[in-house]
């Protein structure tokens, strides 16, 4: 059978299927469950400096082509996170997602998680529905550059920069964060939804992030654009539900993929289904390892 190990920066993974930030990764118990169910790694829900309740319900709404969400970066704050995760057994397979409103917050958060033994961080530069953080920070090229460099300078963490697709010039953003060890592409698209009989928005926050199958064509394009331009390690995310979807991302340059909304459709079996499918594809198509198809469609 073909090998499906991969690497992202200096991180080696047994398999390329990673749980995306924000879906079933708030509690340590659920993170362990994903790893036991076959995820190659897990990204935590994004953690900030202080506790946030997030938006009131409804925080999600299913649409025919995916999911709208505005959870609102609910998180217990870094102190409580450290308390819950300081003796967490699977730190090497866990990438901690952090968000902040400025360089200092990002650096503080990164320092705190390094202290308790994590070695990888994903920078949420892209949540599209919370004021003052996420994509609002993630659109500011200077700030993005400084956040990434400062964390690289001041910690030994592997840094994944998760970029927003809601921009005119994704390449400029990728270049601003080029000191990162990898790019995670993409976060959700800014979107909204309407209920026509009550004439109200389906999310309490009005605006939310759109994920699931409907965003895959945009995510593929983002991975292609950035891989073609930079050749760097990319973690592909956005609408991946089946192993076929995963293969598409690998062919365009992703070295690993993340799965979020598909948990809604496939539940915890999604990891093994996708991994089995990838193996079978590689075998059937005569490839001995995943590496052989990564970026295969992109002339660089």
Partner 1 sequence: MNHARVIDIVKENKDVFTLSFDFSIVAKPGQFLMVWVPGGKEIPMSLSHITSPPSITFRVFGETTKFLSGLRKGDRMYFRGPYGNSYPEPSGRIAYIAGGTGLASVYSMLSKYIGDVFVGARTKDDLFLLKKGFKIATDDGSAGFKGTVIDLFVPHVDDYDYVFVCGPEPMAKSLLDKIDRKTKTKIYFSLERLMKCGVGICDSCSVNGIRICKDGTIFSIEEVLKMNEFGVFKRSESGKIEFFAKNKR
Ligand X SMILES: Cc1cc2nc3c(=O)[nH]c(=O)nc-3n(C[C@H](O)[C@H](O)[C@H](O)COP(=O)(O)OP(=O)(O)OC[C@H]3O[C@@H](n4cnc5c(N)ncnc54)[C@H](O)[C@@H]3O)c2cc1C
Q: Which spans of this chain sit near partner 1 (rule: CB under 8 A)?
A: 23-27, 29-33, 45, 51-54, 56-62, 71, 74-77, 80, 83-84, 195, 197-200, 202, 204, 261, 263-264, 267
Q: Which position among 4, 20, 137, 151 is part of the footprint of ligand FMN (CB under 6 A)? A: 20
Q: How far is the CB of 169 from its own copies (least distance, A)?
A: 8
Check residue 198 for interaction with ligand X (CB under 6 A): no
Q: Which position among 34, 46, 166, 177 is part of the footprint of ligand FMN (CB under 6 A)? A: 46
- Site string (31-70) toward ligand X, x via CB under 6 A: -------------------------xx-------------
Cα(159)–Cα(175) distance, integer angstroms: 14
- Site string (81-120) toward ligand FMN, x via CB under 6 A: ----------------x-----------------------
- Annotated active-site residue in 24, 35, 39, 127: 127
- In 3D space, the residue among 215, 290, 284 whose CA is nearest the CA of residue 251 turns out to be 290
CB-wise, 177 or 261, nearer to ligand FMN? 261
Q: How far is the CB of 2 from its own copies (least distance, A)?
A: 15
For residue 127, indicate whether it is catalytic. yes
Residues 114-143 within binding reach of ligand FMN (CB under 6 A): 124, 127
CB-wise, 59 or 167, nearer to ligand X? 59
As a three-state string, the secondary structure of the chain is CCECCEEECCEEECCCEEECCCCCCCCHHHHHHHHHCCCCEEECCCECCCCECCCCCCCEEEECCEEEECCCCCECHHHHHHHHHCCCCCHHHEEEEECCCCHHHHHHHHHHHHHCCCCEEEEECCCCCCCCCCHHHHCCHHHHHHHHHHHHHHCCCEEEEECCCCCCCHHHHHHHCCCCCEEEECCCEEEECEECCCCEECCCCCEEEEECHHHHHHHHHHHHHHHHHHCCCEEEECCCCCHHHHHHHHHCCEEEEEECCHHHHHHHHHHHHHHHHHHHHHHHCCCCEHHHHCCCCCCC
Stretch that binds its own copies, among 43-51, 99-107, 149-157, 246-254 (CB under 8 A): 246-254
- Site string (186-225) toward ligand FMN, x via CB under 6 A: -xx--------------------x-xx--x----------
Q: How far is the CB of 67 from its own copies (least distance, A)?
A: 10
Q: How far is the CB of 235 from ligand X (least distance, A)?
A: 33
Check residue 239 for interaction with ligand FMN (CB under 6 A): yes
98 touches 47 (CB < 8 A):
yes
Cα(67)–Cα(63) distance, integer angstroms: 6
- How many Cβ atoms are within 10 Å of 287's Cβ, its own excluded? 15
CB-wise, 14 or 62, nearer to ligand X? 62
Cα(273)–Cα(124) distance, integer angstroms: 28
Q: What is the binding site for its own copies (CB under 8 A)? A: 63-66, 68, 139, 166-169, 189-194, 196-197, 199-201, 206-207, 210, 213-218, 220-221, 224, 244, 247-248, 251-252, 281, 285, 293, 296-297
- Catalytic positions, please? 127
């Amino acid at each position: 059978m073909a090998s499906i190990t991969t690497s992202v920066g200096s991180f080696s993974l047994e398999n390329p299927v990673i749980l995306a930030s924000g879906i079933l990764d708030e509690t340590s118990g659920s993170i362990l469950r994903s790893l036991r169910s076959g995820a190659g790694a897990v990204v935590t829900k994004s953690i900030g400096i202080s506790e946030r309740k997030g938006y009131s319900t409804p925080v999600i709404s299913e649409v025919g082509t995916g999911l709208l969400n505005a959870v609102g970066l609910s998180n217990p704050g870094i102190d409580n996170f450290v308390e819950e995760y300081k003796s967490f057994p699977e730190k090497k397979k866990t990438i901690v997602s952090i968000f902040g409103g400025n360089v200092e917050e990002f650096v503080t958060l990164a320092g705190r998680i390094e202290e308790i033994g994590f070695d990888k961080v994903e920078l949420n530069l892209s949540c599209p529905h919370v004021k003052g953080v996420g994509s609002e920070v993630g659109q500011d090229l200077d700030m993005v550059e400084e956040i990434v460099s400062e964390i690289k300078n001041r910690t030994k963490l592997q840094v994944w920069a998760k970029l927003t697709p809601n921009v005119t010039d994704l390449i400029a953003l990728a270049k601003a964060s080029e000191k990162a060890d990898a790019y995670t592409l993409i976060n959700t698209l800014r979107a909204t939804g309407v209920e026509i009989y009550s004439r109200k928005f389906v999310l309490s926050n009005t605006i939310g992030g759109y994920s699931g199958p409907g965003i895959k064509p945009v995510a593929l394009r983002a991975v292609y654009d950035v891989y073609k331009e930079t050749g760097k390690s990319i973690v592909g995310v956005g609408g991946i539900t089946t192993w076929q979807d995963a293969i598409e991302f690998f062919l365009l340059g992703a070295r690993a993929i993340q799965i979020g909304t598909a948990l809604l459709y496939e539940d915890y079996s999604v990891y093994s289904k996708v991994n089995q499918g990838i193996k079978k594809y590689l075998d059937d198509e005569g490839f001995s390892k995943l590496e052989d198809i990564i970026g295969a469609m992109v002339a660089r």
